[in-house]
Amino acid sequence: AGQLSGEGNSAAFREFAWRFVNIIARALVELGQRPDYMLIQRHVINIDALFIEYAQHYFAKTESKAWEVIVQIEAKLNEKNIPR
């Protein structure tokens, strides 16, 4: 991101990229993992697994029954009741 211009759309993209990488790194640290370039790259490309792992970790710490409720809600979803 250091090679991008500090003006206009480049500045906005640079800020977005920095925040995205920072969020990934903070989530990894919270999960007890040490962020490195390869790990961050893997989650930049596919953040779903990190999000699910972090959500499970967060809910286990803050509300132990939350994940069970989420699974129950997910089980009720089908093609007819998913908003488009």
CA of 11: how far to CAs of 2, 16, 17, 23, 46, in Å? 10, 9, 10, 18, 24
Report the pLDDT value the prediction gives residue 47, as an integer from 0 to 100.
95
Residue 1 tokens, joined: 């991101």
User: pLDDT tens digits for the chain (84 residues)?
Assistant: 456 566 667 888 888 999 999 999 999 999 999 999 999 999 999 999 999 999 999 999 999 899 899 999 999 998 888 887
Other Cβ atoms within 10 Å of 17 Cβ, number? 13
Report the pLDDT value the prediction gives residue 46, as an integer from 0 to 100.
95
Report the pLDDT value the prediction gives residue 8, as an integer from 0 to 100.
64
Q: What's the whole-model pTM score?
A: 0.73
CA distance 40 to 21: 7
Report the pLDDT value the prediction gives residue 52, as an integer from 0 to 100.
94
